[in-house]
């Protein structure tokens, strides 16, 4: 009896390793099967998510924002934490002007990848729209100095251009000028961008940099109407009238409907014709110009007094009027040819009259405006 039990025990212990091996094998098989099923399930979910995402991208590109939002949300059901899906959903929400929802997604993405240029740019736009100046500046600068992919490097320039526009719209011209100078140094050979930067420099009244940008644009692309007109205006503002005349003539020739350039060209030509200090004039020509300028200034002085209801000489203008009347007999073409030293004295009086009447009777037009510009041109000489 005892011997039989011992034999059963021996058989049991012999079979146990086999059973354990079988159980282990079955466990491995079940594990592999479950893992495979899990992977297949996840792959199916990923495929469904990608399918919805692809549809969303197509609708986002077509500006069908409602459909895009639905499709991106569907994609996120299959991949809840997908960074790209969330970013595109935020862009679609911005398209619907649902900036509060978009900002929530973008803030979450920024916390995950604060160096992402596009996320920073979108957050900057939202802050700019809300007039949150400090936040907008921070996000714009983050976007400018972010690590953009090589095929999206233009986004860095676009971010700075947007920042400049934001600064101009908020009246921060000094900051905008600094950003423009930084942009111009790294703009490259893009004539349209050079022209755009020139336009922005005009808005901050930095005419030197504006002229440089327009000339670079013209060098790269040739005689484009806008760049010609811009170069002419910038040169005009700098008092570089021969250069202004050159570009304004080309601008008007290329676009006869450009009335602003035509008006500036007319004034430029008047300045050049009435400036007696240009080197190319002969003594006789200079005498003719001074005589004409002296007459124009005298008429302006009389008209200014009449407009104020006061007969000349007036209390405020008696000194200028007296000086003009005293000098008048000497100012003729013959008299100026005989006594060239009178040229400077006569023009000093002309300039004083134009400055005084500008202050008391408002901005002049025609020849008086030209003489006022000439006075400014020769200040300190």
Number of domains in the chain: 2
Coil vs helix vs strand at 181 = helix
Distance between CA atoms of 231 and 234, rounded to whole angstroms?
5
Distance between CA atoms of 347 and 359, rounded to whole angstroms?
18
Question: Is residue 31 in some structural domain?
Answer: no
Q: Are residues 213 and 291 in the same domain?
A: no
Instruction: Average the pLDDT over 352-365 and give the result.
Output: 92
Nearest CA-CA partner of 55 in 77, 80, 82, 75: 75
Whether the pLDDT of residue 112 is over 90: the answer is yes
pLDDT at 62: 93
Question: Is residue 210 in some structural domain?
Answer: yes
Beta carbons of 294 and 350 less than 8 angstroms apart = yes
Cis status, amide bond into 96, omega within 30 of 0: no
Q: Are residues 288 and 268 in the same domain?
A: no
Q: Are residues 296 and 221 in the same domain?
A: no
Instruction: Average the pLDDT over 122-150 and give the result.
Output: 92
Whether the pLDDT of residue 308 is over 80: the answer is no
Distance between CA atoms of 126 and 97, rounded to whole angstroms?
10
Q: Are residues 265 and 218 in the same domain?
A: yes
pLDDT at 352: 94
Distance between CA atoms of 320 and 313, rounded to whole angstroms?
9
- Last residue within a domain, chosen from 249, 274, 299: 274
In this structure, what DSSP letter does residue 151 have? G
- Last residue within a domain, chosen from 230, 256, 274: 274
Q: Are residues 193 and 260 in the same domain?
A: yes
Nearest CA-CA partner of 181 in 165, 169, 164: 164
Which residue matches tokens 């030293």? 341
Q: Are residues 267 and 323 in the same domain?
A: no
Question: Is residue 82 in some structural domain?
Answer: no
**CATH code of the domain covering residue 270:** 1.25.40.10
Question: Is residue 135 in some structural domain?
Answer: no
Q: Are residues 287 and 255 in the same domain?
A: no
Beta carbons of 265 and 242 less than 8 angstroms apart = no
Instruction: Average the pLDDT over 180-196 and give the result.
Output: 88
257-290 pLDDT, tens digit per residue, is 999 999 999 999 999 999 999 999 999 999 999 9
Helix axes 225-237, 191-203, angle to 10 degrees: 30
188 φ, ψ to 5°? 80, -160
Instruction: Average the pLDDT over 213-219 and give the result.
Output: 94
pLDDT at 185: 82
Question: Is residue 9 in some structural domain?
Answer: no
pLDDT at 163: 95
Distance between CA atoms of 14 and 312, rounded to whole angstroms?
136
- Last residue within a domain, chosen from 274, 298, 333: 274
Question: Is residue 254 in some structural domain?
Answer: yes
Give the domain extent around 252: 187-274
Q: Are residues 291 and 315 in the same domain?
A: yes
Q: Are residues 225 and 306 in the same domain?
A: no
Q: How sure is the predictor about 309, in pLDDT bands with cuts at 50, 70 and 90?
A: low
Q: How sure is the predictor about 223, in pLDDT bands with cuts at 50, 70 and 90?
A: confident
Which residue matches tokens 């995950």? 112
Q: Are residues 295 and 260 in the same domain?
A: no
pLDDT at 312: 47
Instruction: Average the pLDDT over 288-314 and give the result.
Output: 80
Question: Is residue 71 in some structural domain?
Answer: no
Beta carbons of 234 and 214 less than 8 angstroms apart = yes
51-105 pLDDT, tens digit per residue, is 988 999 999 999 999 999 999 899 988 888 899 999 999 999 999 999 999 999 9
Distance between CA atoms of 328 and 340, rounded to whole angstroms?
15
Considering Cα of 296, then 297, then 298, then 301, what sign does the dihedral take? positive
Question: Is residue 224 in some structural domain?
Answer: yes
Q: 321 or 124, which is more confident?
A: 124
């Amino acid at each position: 009896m005892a011997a039989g039990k011992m034999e059963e025990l021996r058989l049991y212990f012999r079979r146990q390793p086999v059973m354990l091996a079988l159980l282990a094998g079955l466990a491995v098989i079940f594990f592999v099967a479950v893992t495979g099923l899990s992977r297949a399930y996840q792959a199916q979910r990923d495929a469904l998510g990608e399918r919805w995402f692809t549809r969303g991208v197509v609708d986002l590109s077509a500006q069908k924002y409602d459909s895009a939002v639905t499709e991106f949300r569907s994609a996120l059901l299959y991949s809840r934490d997908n960074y790209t899906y969330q970013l595109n959903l935020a862009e679609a929400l911005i398209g619907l002007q649902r900036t509060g929802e978009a900002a929530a997604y973008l803030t979450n993405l920024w916390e995950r990848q604060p160096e992402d240029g596009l996320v920073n740019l979108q957050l900057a736009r939202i802050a700019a729209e809300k007039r949150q100046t400090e936040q907008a500046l921070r996000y714009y600068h983050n976007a400018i100095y972010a690590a953009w992919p090589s095929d999206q490097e233009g986004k860095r320039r676009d971010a700075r251009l947007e920042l400049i526009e934001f600064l101009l719209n908020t009246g921060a011209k000094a900051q905008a000028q600094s950003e423009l100078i930084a942009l111009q140094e790294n703009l490259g050979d893009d004539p349209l961008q050079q022209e755009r930067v020139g336009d922005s420099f005009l808005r901050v009244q930095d005419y030197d940099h504006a002229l440089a940008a327009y000339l670079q644009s013209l060098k790269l692309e040739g005689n484009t109407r806008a760049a010609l007109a811009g170069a002419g205006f910038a040169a005009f503002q700098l008092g570089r009238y021969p250069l202004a005349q050159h570009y304004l003539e080309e601008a008007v020739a290329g676009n006869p409907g450009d009335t602003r350039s035509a008006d500036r060209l007319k004034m430029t030509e008047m300045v050049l014709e009435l400036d007696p200090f240009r080197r190319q004039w002969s003594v006789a020509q200079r005498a003719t110009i001074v005589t004409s300028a002296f007459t124009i200034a005298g008429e302006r002085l009389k008209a200014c007094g009449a407009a104020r209801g006061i007969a000349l000489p007036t209390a405020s203008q008696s000194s200028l009027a007296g000086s003009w009347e005293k000098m008048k007999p000497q100012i003729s073409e013959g008299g100026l040819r005989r006594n060239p030293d009178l040229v400077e004295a006569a023009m000093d009086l002309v300039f004083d009259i134009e400055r005084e009447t500008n202050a008391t009777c408002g901005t002049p037009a025609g020849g008086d405006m030209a003489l006022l510009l000439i006075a400014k041109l020769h200040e300190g000489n």
